[in-house]
């Protein structure tokens, strides 16, 4: 009872700044879901704006009352699941939809697609395999996920959509991926063909493609998903890393002292929005979300491809300017 009171107090205090909050009977589930999605108690506590001990006690109580069996090492549903918990999550999803809200997740590369959306309940970004995203949608941990083709276990033909039981993949469009790196000290200094990527288990096709083109690959630790952690590792180890140029803030590449990697192979991804079949897929909230996301993806393509110069020319010009030889 004491734990429930603390949870209610913490979440009630957040209602002042949030248009939506879970109903009190579902607040412990909200904490368990954020723990599942963020990957650790400290990250969940940060996302929930509450003390880590509160997260721990609430999750332990949920596991006890719902007789959940932990699944150490599992990629999703690590704290266990059963029919009773899934029905409760379906109830929480129905409550979000009733209030015009959808809990949408994605990875750090595409998180900015969700910026400023009042109808989206965002969660901490994380790189995952497409099958894992589909499982989280099917289990009602999330209501949808923006997923890249690089996160699929195998290549999908252009005319076909990936399929999962109970989950629909809605095409959002295509985006170019650009490798960026720090400028070398001089124009004559070669840029190492080493790239920092998310885990291979989460982005298998991206690893396969870049390895085939002769790049040496390093994996970013799973616990370091934040942008500053990526930038520090790529700087310390002299690595390149992928970004979606049309999705970063204006001037961000220059402010971080980055340039486009010269002579990179063409890298294009297909983006899908995974939604559960049924009420969510047919809702006005989902239709509005799909329309806005398609517009943002199209705008991101236009921001990067003006239709005249190609990537290699821009990279060469940037290198000359960065080294003072332009």
Q: In the predicted model, is pLDDT for residue 79 greater than 90?
A: no
Q: Do residues 95 and 23 make contact, with C-beta atoms less than 8 angstroms apart?
A: yes
The residue ranges of every structural domain in the chain are: 1-88, 100-326
Mean pLDDT, residues 292-310: 73
Mean pLDDT of the chain: 85
Q: Confidence class of residue 304 from pLDDT cuts 50, 70 and 90?
A: low
Q: What percent of the chain has pLDDT over 70?
A: 86
Pure H helices in the chain: 2-14, 27-38, 41-48, 52-65, 83-98, 130-138, 204-212, 227-236, 252-255, 284-304, 311-322
Pure H helices in 213-283: 227-236, 252-255
Q: Look up the pTM and report it.
A: 0.86
SS3 for 44? Answer: helix
The CATH number, out of the four listed (3.40.190.80, 3.40.190.10, 3.40.190.290, 3.40.50.300), of the domain defined by the range 100-326: 3.40.190.290
Give residue 94's pLDDT.
96
Which range among 43-57, 150-164, 211-225, 239-253 shows the weakest confidence by mean pLDDT? 150-164
pLDDT tens digits for range 238-293:
999 999 999 999 888 889 989 999 888 999 999 999 999 999 999 999 999 999 99
At 19, list the tokens: 């248009």
pLDDT tens digits for range 176-189:
999 999 888 777 77
Contacts of 147 (CB under 8 A, 6+ apart): 106, 130, 133, 169, 271, 272, 273, 274
**What is the CB neighbour count within 10 angstroms for residue 319?**
20
Range with top average pLDDT, 67-76, 199-208, 260-269: 199-208
């Amino acid at each position: 009872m004491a734990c429930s009171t603390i949870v209610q107090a913490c979440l009630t205090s957040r209602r002042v700044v949030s248009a939506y909050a879970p109903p009190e009977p579902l607040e412990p589930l909200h904490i368990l879901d954020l723990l599942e999605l963020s990957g650790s108690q400290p990250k969940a506590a940060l996302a929930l704006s509450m003390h880590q001990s509160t997260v721990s006690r609430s999750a332990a109580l949920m596991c006890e009352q719902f007789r959940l069996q932990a699944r150490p090492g599992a990629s999703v549903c690590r704290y266990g699941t059963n029919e009773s918990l899934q029905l409760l999550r379906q109830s929480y999803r129905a409550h979000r939809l009733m209030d015009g809200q959808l809990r949408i997740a994605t990875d750090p590369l595409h998180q900015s697609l969700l910026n400023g959306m009042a109808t989206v309940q965002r969660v901490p970004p994380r790189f995952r395999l497409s099958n894992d995203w589909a499982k989280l949608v099917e289990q009602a941990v999330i209501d949808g996920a923006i997923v890249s083709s690089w996160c699929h276990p195998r290549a999908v033909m252009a005319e076909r959509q990936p399929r999962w039981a109970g989950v629909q993949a809605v095409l959002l469009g295509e985006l170019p991926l650009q490798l960026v790196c720090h400028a070398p000290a001089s124009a004559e200094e070669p840029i190492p063909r080493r790239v920092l990527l998310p885990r291979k288990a989460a982005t298998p096709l991206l690893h396969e493609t870049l390895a085939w083109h002769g790049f040496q690959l390093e994996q970013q630790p799973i616990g370091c998903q934040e942008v500053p952690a990526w930038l520090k590792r790529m700087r310390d180890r002299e690595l390149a890393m992928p970004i979606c140029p049309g999705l970063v803030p204006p001037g961000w590449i220059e402010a971080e002292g980055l340039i486009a990697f010269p002579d990179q192979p063409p890298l294009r991804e297909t983006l899908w929005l995974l939604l559960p079949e049924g009420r969510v897929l047919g809702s006005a909230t989902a239709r509005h979300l799909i329309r806005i996301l398609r517009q943002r993806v199209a705008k991101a393509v236009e921001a990067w491809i003006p239709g005249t110069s190609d990537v290699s020319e821009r990279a060469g010009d940037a290198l000359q300017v960065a080294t003072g030889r332009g």
